Structure 1
Amino acid sequence: MPSIAHVLVAAGLIAACAAAAATVDNAALPAPVRVPAGHELRLWSIGKGEIRYACRQAGAGGRYAWVSGASTARLYDVYLREIGWSYAGPTWKSVDGSKVTGRALAVAPAGAGHLPLQLLRAGTASGQGTMQGVSYIQRLNTRGGAAPAQPCDARREGRERVVGYEADYVFYGRR
């Protein structure tokens, strides 16, 4: 049986790892998705969700492509407690009822099969709570979520596929 000292050391290591995961080195990120100076990290979350894609005709020449549609995700803190949701808009809503919408500013590649990294400017916020005062949102450390690898052509037009993904959503406010 472990001693109380071992349990305390283990708990301290878990807390230290959780705190380390909740930091972002913006200088190490691709320039397009860096948050401007004068803003500080307010909330770091893990998003686990899905994106719905539809096979559609995309532009002239009869070309077809998987077009992203609705996306939803649950947001978790560093201890994997549910703290909110992300859905169409894009919108992020906290369990405290506050919410914020975002407007995409820039993306940067994240590797094959993964959603791109993204920087969004916060727009409308409502409710008093976690999302009040958010100025920027980043989507980082994406895993999965890219358009399906299956062919998309005239025979498959209208078909839909749901693709799972995970990403860190990081919220900033003015200093």
Structure 2
Amino acid sequence: MQTAVLSSRSLRIALPLAAALTLVACAPMSTMYSQDSLPDAVKVPAGNKVVLQTVGVGEILYECRAKKDMPGQFEWTFVGPDAVLKDRSGMQVGRYYGPPATWESSDGSKVTGAQVAVAPAGTGNIPHQLVKANPATGMGAMTQTTYIQRVATKSGVAPADRCDMGSAGAKQKVGYQADYIFWKAS
């Protein structure tokens, strides 16, 4: 009988706690976001507000190619990303892939864009980036996106491996992570 009382008390505590945690996990992501620590070049102009914050985890594909207008010289060239977009609770909410660079929501809406600026993000990390969005396709989370910021980057830079005539055409994937912040006109 005492076991049943303890189980009943445990359930009275556990069920509301579980319900609260479920609500937090399903609640819309907070739009509290500060650009204060970012370089000016990648700050979104006034008149826009954050509507979605995601964490992209995936890979960037590089290919060893001849340098443009530099005969006999080669470099690792960015080909495109392939990443899963997750919300702050870890739930998958979309994908980021390319070329062209495309952010696609799980609801089917998607957006591409043109790079406006980049700024250094520390040794070994791809740079911060500001992208001006093109009109979205489909109706959903990406509809009316004006800007996309890439911040909080980790890794993702071109390989350090040899890239020369003998390795031309070689491809390598490099793991990375970055926050993608989506903005709409306010």
CA distance in 1, matches of 2:36, 2:122: 19
CA distance in 2, matches of 1:22, 1:113: 29
Provide the residue aligned with 1:50 in structure 2.
Answer: 59
Identity of aligned residues (%): 43
Q: Which amino acid aligns with 1:34?
A: K
Cα pair 2:42 2:118 within 8 Å, conserved = yes
Offset of 1:19 from its aligned partner? 8.9
- How is 1:58-137 mapped onto 2 (pairs within 5 angstroms)? 58-59=67-68, 60-88=70-98, 89-137=100-148
CA distance in 2, matches of 1:20, 1:100: 20
1:65-115 deviation per Cα after TM superposition (whole angstroms, max 9, x unaligned)? 100102111100111111001111211111111111111000001112111
2:43 aligns with one of 34, 43, 67: 34
1:3-41 deviation per Cα after TM superposition (whole angstroms, max 9, x unaligned)? 938x84xx67xx59x999864311221010000001000
| Unaligned stretches of 5+ residues in structure 1 | none
CA distance in 2, matches of 1:23, 1:62: 50
More strand by share: 1
Q: State the number of aligned residues.
A: 171
Provide the residue aligned with 2:5 in structure 1.
Answer: none
2:163 aligns with one of 152, 162, 169: 152
CA distance in 1, matches of 2:29, 2:82: 26
In terms of Rg, which structure is larger? 2
The DSSP-based 3-state class of the residue aligned with 2:147 is: strand
CA distance in 1, matches of 2:65, 2:179: 29
Q: Which amino acid aligns with 2:129?
A: Q
Q: Which amino acid aligns with 1:82?
A: Q
CA distance in 1, matches of 2:28, 2:107: 22
Offset of 1:57 from its aligned partner? 1.2
1:98-146 deviation per Cα after TM superposition (whole angstroms, max 9, x unaligned)? 1111110000011121111000001021111101111000001011110
Give the TM-score normalised by structure 1: 0.87
Offset of 1:61 from its aligned partner? 4.4
Moved over 4 A (4+): 18-22
Q: Which amino acid aligns with 1:38?
A: G
Give the TM-score normalised by structure 2: 0.82
Change (3 A) 1:172 1:143: same
